[in-house]
Copies of this chain bind each other. A is one copy, B any other.
Amino acid sequence: MTRVLDAYRSSWTDVAAHLERVPVAVLPFGALEQHGPQLPLGTDTATAAEVARRIAEALDAVLLPPVHYGDTWNTAGYPGTVSLRPSTVTAIAEDVGRAIAASGARLLVVVNGDWGNRNPLAAAMRTLETEGALRALTLDHPGMDAAIAAVRESAPAAPGLNHAEEVETSIMLAIAPEDVHPDRYEATYPTFPSDFGTRPMQLHPFSASGVFGDPSSATAEKGERIIAATVAASLALLEDALPRD
């Protein structure tokens, strides 16, 4: 099995040589965001880092260290959540893209673990595309929704919303079970404001715990299936984006 080239733990000479051979870098972009009382603040980062690691392994690409902070405005009302301005997220991604291009990469894959990063990362990708120094794209966990649909037993709190419930708890049981508190599982189905989804809205006014659903049916096996499916779908998408000589 390939051991991934982890840039954080590798010398510049090793990374430079590797990029010359495989000019692809993978950047996990996470967030420090509330995930209920049972999951750690680093849940999104941990998920993105795990998906990114597997993608990097499969592609023999350089794995960049994760960005631990993202734009999580929606949950900024929960203490411990650290939300960046969207412009900060965009700036980080642009800077990493330019630097890794200057280092020899021709493709940057950003594995995004946080919903709020989508728009600011899209802005950065477009800037990098326009500048033309390398190809850059963001993966927002493709394939994950289908995999969730296949394993989910509990009802979601709102359609398409997987936050701090069965799904994310399963993922963390697969990745970092030591950071999960099963003794704190509590099903919570908040009443959403009637105009939820139509405008920017913070969540703390109507959800005290930050849990949106029921974590009690979470299992590591479900989490592993979700991650594996996400990685597989990501790799399928990347197939055509990889640099060719």
Contacts and interface: CB of A to CB of B under 8 A. Distances in A.
Given A123-B86, A241-B199, A12 B78 contact: yes
B195 A240 contact: yes
A11 B32 contact: no
A85 B194 CA distance: 33
Counted per complex, copies of this chain come to: 6
B32 A65 contact: yes
Contacts of A103: 79-82
A4 interface: no
A122 B119 contact: yes
Interface stretch (A38-46, A143-151, A221-229): A38-46
Contacts of A39: 11
Given A12-B34, A13-B209, A82-B95, 11 more contacts: A7-B41, A8-B32, A8-B45, A12-B78, A13-B80, A68-B68, A81-B103, A84-B96, A119-B123, A136-B199, A138-B199
Interface of A: 7-16, 19, 32, 34-42, 45-46, 64-69, 73, 76, 78-88, 91-92, 95-96, 99-100, 102-104, 119, 122-123, 125-126, 129, 135-139, 176, 179, 181, 184, 193-195, 198-201, 209-210, 237-241
